[in-house]
Structures are given as C-alpha cells and as structure tokens.
Amino acid sequence: MRKGATLAVVGGGGFRTPRLLYGLIHHADRLQLAEITLYDENRGRADIMAVLGRHLAETAHSALRIRAVDSVAEAVADAPFVCITIRPGGEDGRVADERVALEAGVLGQETVGPGGFFLALRTMAAMGKLLRQIRAHNEMAWIVNFANPVGILSEAVRRQGEERFVGVCDTPHHLKLELAQYLEADPGSLAIETVGLNHLGWFLAVYRNGVDVLPDLLGHWEDVQKHVRPLSFFAADEVRSLAALPTEYVYLYQHAAAVTERIRGTVPRGEQVRTRSRMFYERAAILVQEGRDADLLALYTETLAGRSNSYFQSETESILPRGLRSGSILATESYERVAIDTMLGLRGVETTNAVILNVPHQGAAGSMLPDDNVMELACRVDRTGIHPIPLRKPVPNAVRSWIERVKRYECATVEAAARPDDREAVIQALALNPVVPTVEVARSLVERRLHVAASHPLEDHAS
C-alpha cells in the first residue's frame, strides 16, 4: 500500500462506524492512511458519521481526512482496503425477522436461527451486487467484511471466486480480552487455539507465554464464571466435559428453548436496538446542523454504552454487568481491532499475535470439513495473505458434530440463495438450522416472513 492511501467504508452511515474510525485514526500512521471515505445509501447518516470522525481526528491531533461520498465508485477508487458494514432491510428488517421467529416459538436472534437465515438471504443478494460494483473500479483491494452473518457471507463470496475477502467478528477477541483481564496478563501474551464457525466457536487452548493455561481455568471454573462475562452463563459440567471454552453464541444453540422463553418475556433485542438507533440519528441530525460536534460525540458514546451494556442480557440473564462507560468506551477494543490487526498484517507490519478470522481453512482443521470451506480460526497474516494456523489440539467429538451440523446449514443456505425461484430449497435449508425443529416449522417461518415482505422485503429472494 502506498503512503497516503485511502480506506473506504461502504455502509459508512452505520451506527458502529465511529468505533472503526477511532481505531483507524489511532493507527493511521502505521497503515499509512491519508483519507477515509464513507459511502452509505443514506447520505444523511454518512454525513453524521463523517462529522463525528473529523471531530475524533481533531481531538487526536490527526491530519487524517474523513469525508462522505456519493457513490461506491468514488469511495473505493484506489483504496487498498474496503470495509463493508451493510445491513439490507435495516433495523426494521431485523425486527421483522425476530418477530416472525418468536411468534412461531423459535429463537428470534440476529444471526442464530431464522433471523440469521433471513438476514443472510437479503445480504448475500446485496453483497453480490456490491462486490461487482467494487471490482468494476478496484480489482486489487482487500475487502474486510463486518456485515452479518459473517460466516455465511464469507462462504458465499468464496464460492464466487473472490480471494481477497475476509470476514471479521469480535466475539473470540472479546473472550480473549476478558481472559487476559482475569489472568492479569497482557492480551499480547496470550495465544488462542480456536476452532469453529462464526458465532459457533471454542477455545481448545489458551497459551500464556507458551504454556496452556486452559486446564487451570477449567479447574477454577466457579471463579472464572464470577469474572469472565462471556463464560458466566455456561454450567461447569458442560464446559469441563469438552475441555474447551465456548464462545458466547454457542449458548444460543445449546439452550435455544430456554433463551426463546426468556426473550418472549422481554422486548426483543432488535426492537431495543432500533429504538436507540432512531433516537440517536434524530438527535444527531440536529446537533450536526447546529455545529455541536462535542455534544454529538457525547450523544454517540452515551448511546453506544447503553446499547453495549445491554448486550446478551435478556438472552442469558447474566448477573455480571459489562460496566462500559461512555467516557472511555471508544478506547475499548472491539471488531475494529481485529480488522486493524488484519490490515497491518497484510500491510507487512509485524503484529503481536495471531488474528482470528473467517476464511477457507485450507486444511488447518484437518479432514473435519473440505479444505475450501470457511471456518473461524486463528490465522497468520502477512504481505502474502491470510494463512490459517493448523490445529494442534484434538477437537472433541461433540464440538466437531456441532461444527459439521451448522456447516451443512450454512452451505445449504448459500446454495438456496443461488436459486431464488426455488422456495422449497429455501425451506429445506432453513430446516437444517439446529434451532428449527422440523421442516413444517421451517415452512411456516418462510411463509410468515414472506407475508410481511411487503414492508420488510427479502429483496431479490423468494419473493
């Protein structure tokens, strides 16, 4: 990447964009960035995020330029990296997805179960069009994708022959950070051996200065539960029997019925997020018009803290608060750190640890899945590309079974998306999801979702 490069964010009006901008501002010199372009179909939201970004840059005494643009072509031209953070259907689509599932007595959640399935259908169609636009103007950029569901999208794009594409999620990174805090260790001193798919992963080993401390963590599980929030809702027996640490979304698969009952007694997460987002953007537009940039930042961090602190609360009834504060929340690491470490590696700058990413496993997970199937694994990243690190620890049979089962669902979903007129293929793919009990339930879910498609369309699929 040449010095003074541009980085593009497509979907740059999204709520989490300032987290990415904050990280990029503080790593701009190492990434040799001169400018960030933000494109969003909602230009007003992109303008808000550009104002926020420029205020963050000024506060950090950074010369990095941040601007909203009118087209994908203008955003991505000559950019060595393009970050994608789109949500076709918006928050209204998410709410509709979750309601349809919950009304049928099935887990209603953004990425796991029917919610993730319907979101995948919308986003695969949109992603295909977007990638064609990007490649028409930039053939060589690395595409860093944050859009959900990350695993299915990565699988779909891989099948289209796109090699310079990587899926990023912060779930494993958050668990690593919390473990480092519990161990009173520098996160850089921990190396994680992980196996799984996006939102379905397990830590097989936690190396601290080369020594696996996972057996010690299992031996003190009751204490770990009191301090490590992503592990606080897993019972000792279910973790010790596998000798592996589950990432938090595993809980939704293993306890889907109980989680569904909890959610049905509360305001679903999608509706919570939509309410907060609407209030933020309405107030933010006024603050931008009045030139009150500092107040805009305060509004954003307050909204982000409220949204983040309620994360996974209804689903798990965890008694451990996240305790994130508005004044310091942007400095806490999230998905942007995973993306930055990936880009620094591709840039050729030495990183302190392996990065957990969604890419074809290339034999790193043995014969569990075909080599070209996308998995979420620790990877070495350098100028030549992204290289999954071969597993050293054996994979427990139960873990392998979960991975194989969910991968069958993911692959069927990708195949169904390629046959937009075959509704039966859509139904059969959804029926493979572990939280959907029968084909009859899957059929009912598809019909229910299509019934509300006039206001929240599935876009280009199963219409």
Span 11-43, pLDDT tens digits: 999 999 999 999 999 999 999 999 999 999 999
pLDDT at 460: 38
pLDDT at 180: 96
CA separation for the pair 418, 247 (Å, rounded): 30
pLDDT at 462: 33
Residue 333: Cβ within 10 Å count: 17
pLDDT at 352: 58
pLDDT at 340: 96
Tokens read off for 93 = 């689509």
Q: Terminus-to-terminus CA distance in the chain, angstroms?
A: 43
CA separation for the pair 49, 67 (Å, rounded): 9
Helix (H) or strand (E) holding 58: helix 43-59
CA separation for the pair 216, 43 (Å, rounded): 51
Phi/psi at 92 (5° precision): -60, -40
Q: Which residues pair with 83 in a beta bridge?
A: 9, 144
Low-confidence ranges of the chain (pLDDT < 50): 1-2, 454-463
Q: Which CATH superfamily groups domain 5-89+106-167?
A: NAD(P)-binding Rossmann-like Domain (3.40.50.720)
17 close to 93: Cβ distance less than 8 angstroms: no
65 close to 37: Cβ distance less than 8 angstroms: no
pLDDT at 319: 64
Is 355 strand, coil or helix? Answer: strand
- H helical segments located in 169-220: 171-183, 214-219
Listed by start position, the domains of the chain span 5-89+106-167, 260-329
CA separation for the pair 53, 51 (Å, rounded): 5
pLDDT at 1: 42
In this structure, are strands 33-39 and 5-10 parallel, antiparallel, or unpaired? parallel
